[in-house]
């Protein structure tokens, strides 16, 4: 049975697709991972097409060639669940119906938040949707906040974490910064690990991946 992970935030521009791609890159080092693009904008699907054109291969990393609709995922989730260790869903912004559905089938939800006052306030919609779903037993996902698109050389991430504590949801110790290597790797269809396994961006995603696995193992023990 797969572990399903939603990358979700009602607001756009917080790095959901980047996190989905590179977390999938980390998990696929050792486990079969399927990455689903549910955003009609198709950022992950476009990245996949570039990847195919450049003949980049990873036997453990599988992707949807086109964005999934609600019907697609309902029709395919059972078969995917049997074939892969992890399924990652890149959710669209401002689509409450898809967000609620992805939350309903997910074991884990990562909520990326950019460290700005506006982005932190905007995260309330996603956090509240999850809390209401858990309260009414409509979902059983385990949420965690992630500081994303942090400007390097600043303390914005730590300041944002202090503010995010008001949501009373666990926060990753890991933080993902805005880095040129992430943009360059995406343009060429690589995960950050394929592009440059030793760069600072790879180190950040490596830390995130390890922290996620540790979190998942702890949840399994509980």
- Per-residue confidence at 170, pLDDT binned at 50, 70, 90? very high
Helix (H, G, I), strand (E, B) or coil at 198: coil
Instruction: Give the residue carrying structure tokens 């790879």.
Output: 202
Identify the CATH homologous superfamily for domain 3-212: P-loop containing nucleotide triphosphate hydrolases (3.40.50.300)
Closest by alpha carbon to 178, among 112, 120, 126, 123? 112
Domain ranges, ordered by start, for the chain? 3-212
Q: What is the pLDDT of residue 189?
A: 96
Write out pLDDT tens, residues 200-216. Answer: 999 999 999 999 999 99
Sheet holding 171-177, edge to edge: 61-63, 33-37, 86-90, 3-7, 108-113, 142-150, 171-177
Give me the pLDDT at residue 58, please: 96
Reported as a single tens digit per residue, the pLDDT across 7-31 is 999 888 889 999 999 999 999 999 9
Q: Give the model's pLDDT for residue 114.
A: 92
Helix 16-27, helix 180-188: angle, nearest 10: 70
Model pLDDT for residues 71-120, shown as the tens digit of each residue: 888 898 889 989 999 999 999 887 788 888 999 999 999 999 998 888 88
pLDDT score of 158: 81
Instruction: Read off the pLDDT of residues 123-159 as tens digits, 9 standing for 90 and up.
Output: 888 999 999 999 999 999 999 999 999 988 777 778 8
Q: What residues pair up with 147 in beta bridges, in sequence order?
A: 113, 175
pLDDT for 222: 63
Looking at residue 213, its pLDDT comes to 96
Give residue 215's region: left, alpha or beta (phi > 0; psi -120 to 50): alpha
Which among 90, 57, 32 has a CA at the least distance from the CA of 194? Answer: 57
Distance in angstroms (rounded) separating the CA atoms of residues 21 and 152? 21
How far are the Cα atoms of 97, 172, 182, 215 from residue 22, in angstroms, in the given order? Answer: 25, 16, 9, 18
Tell me if the pTM is above 0.85. Answer: yes
Q: What is the model's pLDDT at position 33?
A: 98
Element holding 55 (H helix, E strand):
none
**Separation of alpha carbons 209 and 25, rounded Å:** 9
pLDDT digits (tens, 9 = 90+) for 40-72: 889 999 999 999 999 999 999 999 888 998 888
Number of H helices, E strands in the chain: 9, 7
Q: How far apart are CA 115 and CA 149, in angstroms?
A: 7
CA nearest 41: which of 111, 106, 95?
95
Q: Is residue 37 scored above 70 in pLDDT?
A: yes
Q: pLDDT for 150-167, tens place per residue?
A: 988 777 778 888 889 999
């Amino acid at each position: 049975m797969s572990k399903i992970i939603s990358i979700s935030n009602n607001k756009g521009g917080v790095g959901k697709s980047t996190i989905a791609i590179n977390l999938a890159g980390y998990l696929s080092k050792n486990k079969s991972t399927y990455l689903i693009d549910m955003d009609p904008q198709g950022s992950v699907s476009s990245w996949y097409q570039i990847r195919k054109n450049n003949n980049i291969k990873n036997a453990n990393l599988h992707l949807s060639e086109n964005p999934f609709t609600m019907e697609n995922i309902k029709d395919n989730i059972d078969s995917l669940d049997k074939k892969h260790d992890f399924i990652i869903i890149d959710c669209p912004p401002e689509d409450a119906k898809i967000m609620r559905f992805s939350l309903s089938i997910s074991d884990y939800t990562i909520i990326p938040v950019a460290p700005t006052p506006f982005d932190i306030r905007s995260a309330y919609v996603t956090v509240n949707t999850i809390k209401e779903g858990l309260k009414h037993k409509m979902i059983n996902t385990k949420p965690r906040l992630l500081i994303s698109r942090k400007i390097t050389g600043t303390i914005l991430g730590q300041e944002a974490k202090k503010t995010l504590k008001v949501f009373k949801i666990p926060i990753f110790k890991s933080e993902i910064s805005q880095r040129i290597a992430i943009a360059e790797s995406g343009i060429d269809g690589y995960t950050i690990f394929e592009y440059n396994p030793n760069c600072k961006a790879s180190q950040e995603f490596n830390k995130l991946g390890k922290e996620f696995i540790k979190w998942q193992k702890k949840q399994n023990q509980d």
